[in-house]
């Protein structure tokens, strides 16, 4: 691999400042310096990027297309630099130019093209694909506005647009030569082609031009650079004189509007389907563009479209890109003249589906009226897929009519996208062992019984390069000093740290690094929140999207309970604790927004109560995102993973905390189960109902939170404080909805997420946390073992499993030659 040369690099930065901004180093501002550094880095990786694609073509490799509505990549610069192993050279070069790499990195806006776990998983997967040398494209949308910026005003969340492209994106390359047309609406007509055959053609449609932008995904120290291709929409032909001549002015304007709106903004819903027409347009837009290009690219080097599945596989990241199935069928039949059976054979060998949730409100179901109006030809194809699938169901279960009702793709006036993905995909996977078991035996039981061979598990993972090497440089260096640097590309090696767990000096070093990271976070909190926190207190952290099932409410109710105890008994033995929250709520999710307000209000009261001597602090970190997450994980002692068992498909934050030496306080849900398997129950704090218990209560309706309210005075006191103005300056209504959700549950069951049911068990687990933290050596040992036992949770392991068991890809070695 070519070495990054300090002298050359400095020259490049200075040249770019001139070319881009007509400025010298002394005149440029920090944003301009960032841009110049980014271009200089891009210059360096372009050779590898070209060499990678030359190698793919020469070796005619099989490629995975990872189709996702979300890629939450965060900042690119720092990550690219560490993957190039250019940290030292670039740091030195930048310092010699009188700049500071941290300040430069801080200028880059996060690429927040995702909501949370699902989008971040896609980003980790791309990092692993490149590092392992697997040929891959990420395919997505170039949203003009990504995930909104959260501003907290008066304790309330406000949403501000995320204008991440304001200064341009130095890493992207626009590829207009690969533009394709995507058609919406109109109707399907049957016309004769040149050979006199009947053809289905979409007529009177509106269309847009899809333009790809490519972003480099740099592998770790291996010359591999894969591509994240995100699509933008432009009007097809602004000066279409034809249509003006025909007086079709109206249509020209409509087409322009369509192009303007499609890629405007990311829908900020996590685990929730809003059912908006524009969202379906976004889905078809990027899927159609990606599949058209993939087919064209294949046909440039091959002549038999019937064998495309030998070179191409499409992975559907949840059901959002499921129209892939019908779009591929359309292209194969309408454009390449394959018969239905031939097209179906190819399609079902090239599409695979990942499920990320069992939450019913997240399941995508589109009204027939909307779907058929927007995508008439695609709808026709889905109708035929459904007709044949229903026959198959009836053949398998001749005596059971309920099967069709439960499994049909089109039913109740809706298109059910998960059913389509399962019927057409050759693989259906869940994202953690428990989740996959629940899919097989509860949510997708009927499908599993009919097609067990399709179902498999791929436990999620995270990239240690961003979340340890980049986010926690002190710990990364310490680990490398102890065991060498193999862990960077093979996290299994991190287990070699286990032998140091009982070594007192190592324990001190480990906890000293944790302390320094807590000081770093304390400084961030002071700067951003104006709150003073003590880095010697326990940093107890819950950062993730705000959702009732994730139970931030349980956490804050417990803080209120602790505060009551401390007030009643000021002399009690109490280890100082800093409760740190970070969470965005979907803009329209009112209850989630009120929980944010509650956290901030509780914080206001407690943080300003001098009588408790700062023993409890509550901090809500504004605008939680990938870039500040890196700082937060590094500084955590306790990782709150407290979802209602069965609801969190996997979780991935849990893994990032573990890697950084935090102890999990959690339910037996999602990947927490596997974390405990690896680290041992004695090194975690497990509480609460099991998933089986939750599911049983959901079926039998035997849970009544009123019983708990009536019998437990502490809980009753806390709930009463939601409606007596304690935390709302006398306003009894501020938190009434939260109170009602726990006890009345209008429009649902009361306490649907078993917060009161799990409260005592949670409080007791929290007592164990405190006791454990007081035993410094024992805690240090547990913390180190969490890091040491995190090897399984690398996304490298996950991607190896996808590549071997689903995609059947071969690894590639890339050599940069003079020709590149």
Q: Which of 4, 8, 14 is nearest to 99 (CA)?
A: 14
Residue with tokens 């399962």: 422
CB 321 within 8 A of CB 287: yes
**Neighbour count for residue 168 (Cβ, 10 Å):** 10
Q: How far is Cα 99 from Cα 602, in angstroms, rounded to an integer?
A: 41
365 among known catalytic residues: no
- Counting every residue written for the chain, the total comes to 820
- Spot the catalytic one: 551, 617, 656, 781: 656
Nearer to ligand GPV, 438 or 665 (CB): 438
Tokens of 797: 């392991």
Nearer to ligand GPV, 147 or 252 (CB): 147
State how beta strands 616-620 and 577-582 pair. parallel
* Minimum gap (Å) between residue 19 Cβ and ligand GPV: 40
* Minimum gap (Å) between residue 532 Cβ and ligand GPV: 33
Q: How far is Cα 190 from Cα 654, in angstroms, rounded to an integer?
A: 54
Nearer to ligand GPV, 109 or 117 (CB): 117
302 among known catalytic residues: no
Tokens of 485: 């640097």
Give the largest Cα separation in the chain, rounded: 92
Three-class secondary structure assignment of 293-343: HHHHHHHHHCCCHHHHHHCEEEEEECCCCCCHHHHHHHHHHHHCCCCHHHH
- Spot the catalytic one: 544, 558, 597, 757: 544
Measure Cα distances from 168 to 39, 161, 174 in Å: 12, 16, 12
Please name the helix (run of DSSP H) or strand (run of DSSP E) that holds residue 365, with its range, or none.
strand 365-367
* Minimum gap (Å) between residue 470 Cβ and ligand GPV: 21
* Minimum gap (Å) between residue 587 Cβ and ligand GPV: 15
- C-beta nearest to ligand GPV: residue: 117
* Minimum gap (Å) between residue 804 Cβ and ligand GPV: 19
CB 51 within 8 A of CB 815: yes
CB 124 within 8 A of CB 275: no
CB 166 within 8 A of CB 146: no
462 DSSP 8-state letter = B
What is the CA angle 686-689-693, rounded to 5? 145
* Minimum gap (Å) between residue 487 Cβ and ligand GPV: 23
- CB-count burial class (<10 Å; 0-12, 13-18, 19+) for 239: exposed
28 DSSP 8-state letter = -
Q: How far is Cα 391 from Cα 408, in angstroms, rounded to an integer?
A: 10
**Neighbour count for residue 18 (Cβ, 10 Å):** 13
Tokens of 573: 């033995």
Nearer to ligand GPV, 414 or 460 (CB): 460
Q: How far is Cα 192 from Cα 301, in angstroms, rounded to an integer?
A: 30
* Minimum gap (Å) between residue 71 Cβ and ligand GPV: 12
- CB-count burial class (<10 Å; 0-12, 13-18, 19+) for 452: exposed
Q: How far is Cα 105 from Cα 91, in angstroms, rounded to an integer?
A: 11
Nearer to ligand GPV, 115 or 766 (CB): 115
544 among known catalytic residues: yes
Secondary structure tally for the chain: helices H, strands E: 32, 25
356 among known catalytic residues: yes
Q: How far is Cα 516 from Cα 500, in angstroms, rounded to an integer?
A: 20
Nearer to ligand GPV, 79 or 652 (CB): 652
- Spot the catalytic one: 436, 652, 667, 787: 652
- Spot the catalytic one: 293, 545, 597, 647: 545
* Minimum gap (Å) between residue 46 Cβ and ligand GPV: 32
Measure Cα distances from 250 to 185, 242, 255, 257, 718 in Å: 15, 13, 9, 11, 60
- Enumerate binding residues for ligand GPV (CB under 6 A): 115-118, 121, 270-271, 318, 356-357, 362, 431, 460, 648-652, 670
- Spot the catalytic one: 42, 466, 514, 550: 550
459 among known catalytic residues: no
Nearer to ligand GPV, 105 or 318 (CB): 318
Q: Which ranges in 30-76 belong to alpha helices (H)? A: 30-59
Nearer to ligand GPV, 270 or 734 (CB): 270
* Minimum gap (Å) between residue 447 Cβ and ligand GPV: 17
Q: How far is Cα 265 from Cα 281, in angstroms, rounded to an integer?
A: 12
Nearer to ligand GPV, 35 or 460 (CB): 460
CB 37 within 8 A of CB 31: no
Phi, psi of 316, rounded to the nearest 5 degrees:
-95, 115
| Crossing angle between the packed helical segments 117-132 and 795-802, to the nearest 10 degrees | 80
Tokens of 619: 């901090």
* Minimum gap (Å) between residue 278 Cβ and ligand GPV: 17
- CB-count burial class (<10 Å; 0-12, 13-18, 19+) for 631: middle
Nearer to ligand GPV, 639 or 650 (CB): 650
State how beta strands 577-582 and 538-543 pair. parallel
Nearer to ligand GPV, 104 or 316 (CB): 316
* Minimum gap (Å) between residue 547 Cβ and ligand GPV: 8
Nearer to ligand GPV, 135 or 670 (CB): 670
Q: How far is Cα 504 from Cα 571, in angstroms, rounded to an integer?
A: 32
- Spot the catalytic one: 293, 356, 584, 647: 356
* Minimum gap (Å) between residue 334 Cβ and ligand GPV: 31
Nearer to ligand GPV, 209 or 547 (CB): 547
* Minimum gap (Å) between residue 320 Cβ and ligand GPV: 8
CB 182 within 8 A of CB 195: no
Q: Which residues are catalytic?
A: 356, 544-545, 550, 652, 656
């Amino acid at each position: 691999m070519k070495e990054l040369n300090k002298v050359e690099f400095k020259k490049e930065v200075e040249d770019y400042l001139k070319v881009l901004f007509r400025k010298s180093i002394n005149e440029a501002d920090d944003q301009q310096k960032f841009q110049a550094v980014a271009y200089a880095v891009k210059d360096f990786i372009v050779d590898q990027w070209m060499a990678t694609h030359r190698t793919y073509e020469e070796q005619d490799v099989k490629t995975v297309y990872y189709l996702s509505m979300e890629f939450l990549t965060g900042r690119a610069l720092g990550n690219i630099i560490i993957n190039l192993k250019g940290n030292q050279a670039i740091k030195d070069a930048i310092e010699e130019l009188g700049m500071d790499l941290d300040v430069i990195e801080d200028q880059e806006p996060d690429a927040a093209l995702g909501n949370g776990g699902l989008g971040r998983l896609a980003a980790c997967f791309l990092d692993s694909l490149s590092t392992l040398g697997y040929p891959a494209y990420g395919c997505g949308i170039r949203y003009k506005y990504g995930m909104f910026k959260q501003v907290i005003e008066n304790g309330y969340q406000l949403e501000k647009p995320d204008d991440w492209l304001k200064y341009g994106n130095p890493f992207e390359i626009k590829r207009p030569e690969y533009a394709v047309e995507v058609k919406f609406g109109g109707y399907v007509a049957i016309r004769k082609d040149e050979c006199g055959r009947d053809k289905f053609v979409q007529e009177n449609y509106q269309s847009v031009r899809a333009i790809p932008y490519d972003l480099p995904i740099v592998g770790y120290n291996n010359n591999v650079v894969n591509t994240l291709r995100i699509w933008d929409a432009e009007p097809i032909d602004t000066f279409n004189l034809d249509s003006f001549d025909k007086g079709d002015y109206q249509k020209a304007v409509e087409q322009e509007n369509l192009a303007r709106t499609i890629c405007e903004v990311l829908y900020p819903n996590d685990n929730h389907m809003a059912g908006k027409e524009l969202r379906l347009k976004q889905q078809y837009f990027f899927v159609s563009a990606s599949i058209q290009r993939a087919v064209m690219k294949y046909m440039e080097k091959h002549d038999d479209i019937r064998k495309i599945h030998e070179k191409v596989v499409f992975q559907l990241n949840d059901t959002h890109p499921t129209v892939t199935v019908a779009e591929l069928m359309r292209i194969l039949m309408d454009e390449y003249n394959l018969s239905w059976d031939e097209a179906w054979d190819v399609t079902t060998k090239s599409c695979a589906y990942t499920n990320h949730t069992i939450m019913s409100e997240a399941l995508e179901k589109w009204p027939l009226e909307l779907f058929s109006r927007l995508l008439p030809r695609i709808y026709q194809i889905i109708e035929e897929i459904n007709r044949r699938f229903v026959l198959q169901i009836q053949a398998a279960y001749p005596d059971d009519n309920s099967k069709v009702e439960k499994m049909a793709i089109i039913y109740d006036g809706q298109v059910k996208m998960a059913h389509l993905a399962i019927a057409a995909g050759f693989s259906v996977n869940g994202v953690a062992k428990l989740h996959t078991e629940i899919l097989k035996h509860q949510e997708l039981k009927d499908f599993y019984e009919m097609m067990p061979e399709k179902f498999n598990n791929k436990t999620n993972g995270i990239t240690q390069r961003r979340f340890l090497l980049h986010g926690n440089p002190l710990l990364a260096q310490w680990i490398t000093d102890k065991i060498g640097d193999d862990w960077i590309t093979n996290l299994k090696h991190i287990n070699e740290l286990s032998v140091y767990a009982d070594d007192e000096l190592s324990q001190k070093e480990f906890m000293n690094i944790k302390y320094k990271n807590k000081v770093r976070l304390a400084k961030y909190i002071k700067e951003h929140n104006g709150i003073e926190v003590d880095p010697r207190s326990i940093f107890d952290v819950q950062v993730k999207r705000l959702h009732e099932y994730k139970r931030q409410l349980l956490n804050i109710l417990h803080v209120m309970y602790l505060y009551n105890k401390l007030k009643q008994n000021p002399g009690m033995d109490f280890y100082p604790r800093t409760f740190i929250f970070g969470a965005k709520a979907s803009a329209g999710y009112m209850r989630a927004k009120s929980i944010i307000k509650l956290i901030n209000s509780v914080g206001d009261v407690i943080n300003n109560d001098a009588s408790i001597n700062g023993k409890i602090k509550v901090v809500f970190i504004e605008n939680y995102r990938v870039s500040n997450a890196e700082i937060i994980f590094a500084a955590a002692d306790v990782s709150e993973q407290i979802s209602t068992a069965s609801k969190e498909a996997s979780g991935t934050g849990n893994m990032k905390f573990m890697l950084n030496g935090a102890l999990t306080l959690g339910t037996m849900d999602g990947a927490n189960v596997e974390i405990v398997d690896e680290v041992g129950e004695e090194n975690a704090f497990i509480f609460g109902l099991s998933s089986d218990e939750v599911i049983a209560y959901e079926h039998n309706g035997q849970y009544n939170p009123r019983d708990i309210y009536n019998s437990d005075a502490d809980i009753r006191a806390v709930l009463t404080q939601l409606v007596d103005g304690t935390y709302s300056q006398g306003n009894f209504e501020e938190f009434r909805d939260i109170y009602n959700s726990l006890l009345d549950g209008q429009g649902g069951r009361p306490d649907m997420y078993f917060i009161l049911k799990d409260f005592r068990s949670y409080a007791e687990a929290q007592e164990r946390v405190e006791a454990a933290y007081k035993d410094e050596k024992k805690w240090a040992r547990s913390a180190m073992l969490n890091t040491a036992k995190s090897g399984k949770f690398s996304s490298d392991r996950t991607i190896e499993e996808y590549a071997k068991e689903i995609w059947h890809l071969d690894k590639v070695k890339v050599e940069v030659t003079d020709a590149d």
